[in-house]
Amino acid sequence: PQTLYFTRHGESEYNVLGRIGGDASLSPRGQLYAHGLADYMNALGQEPLTVWTSEMRRTKQTAADIRAAKRAVRALNELDAGICEGLTYEEMQERFPQEFAWRDQDKLRYRYPWGESYIDIMTRLRPVLSALEDEHNVVVVGHQAVLRCMLGYFLDAKLDELPYMNVPLHTIVKLTSYGYKYKCEMITLPI
Ligand code: F6P
């Protein structure tokens, strides 16, 4: 059967600070996850394994030690938070209270000024999702919002639930095809 693996990048320096977006590097803990992920994937002995990352530093660093062909895919980049890139949620609430309230009211459709909404991500992901459906043994190293959209698609989640799906750091989500649906397993690596 077809197996697809999804994981967020390891913890980044911005995750530690609670900052939105950016292009930070992995924290020391995130580096440990990158090593653990590589050990796990390299031990599977599944060939040919392909790794798709975003164009961002933190996903490339997370995938670095996996022995496989790698592709950096622009459409896998994290939600563009526009004028709120680099802020914490508290700073966003102080500086842009109206934006903060709007996002809270309709997180799915809310588009950051000069940035994107979850719906925008789904639109740009469409070609990637169809391509993935034809692949075997792909590891996608992505980001929180983008992975919510991807997993929601494969697992048939309701659109309104997508922005709240739990996709924790340092966890591998393994999807295995089962008829035309997918079975989902969560694998938490001890790091
Ligand atoms: O905080 C990490 C992050 O990937 C941000 O870059 C992104 O804006 C956010 O998560 C998406 O999550 P939420 O939609 O819950 O703000």
**Residues lining ligand 1, CB < 6 A?**
20-21, 78-79, 81, 143-145, 163
> CA 23 to CA 37: how far, in whole Å?
21
> CA 91 to CA 85: how far, in whole Å?
11
Which atom of ligand 1 is least distant from the CA of 19?
1
Mean pLDDT of the chain: 96
Q: What is the pLDDT of residues 159-177, one digit of tens each?
A: 999 999 999 999 999 999 9
| pLDDT given at position 20 | 98
Which residue(s) pair with 176 in the sheet? 3, 183
Which atom of ligand 1 is least distant from the CA of 21?
6
| pLDDT given at position 27 | 98
Residues 46, 114: contact at Cβ < 8 Å?
Answer: no
Note whether ipTM > 0.85 here. yes
| pLDDT given at position 168 | 96
pTM assigned to the model: 0.97
Q: What is the pLDDT of residues 176-189, one digit of tens each?
A: 999 989 999 999 99
Q: Quick one: three-class SS letters along the chain?
A: CCEEEEEECCCEHHHHHCECCCCCCECHHHHHHHHHHHHHHHHHCCCCCEEEECCCHHHHHHHCCCCCEEEECHHHCCCCCHHHCCCEHHHHHHHCHHHHHHHHHCCCCCCCCCCCCHHHHHHHHHHHHHHHHCCCCEEEEECHHHHHHHHHHHCCCCHHHHHHCCCCCCEEEEEEEECCEEEEEEEECCC
| pLDDT given at position 139 | 97
State the burial class of residue 54 (Cβ atoms within 10 Å of its Cβ: 0-12, 13-18, 19+).
Answer: buried
Q: What is the pLDDT of residues 117-141, one digit of tens each?
A: 999 999 999 999 999 999 999 999 9
Q: Which residues of the chain have pLDDT under 50?
A: none
Supply the residue whose CA is at minimum distance from atom 6 of ligand 1: 21
| pLDDT given at position 170 | 96
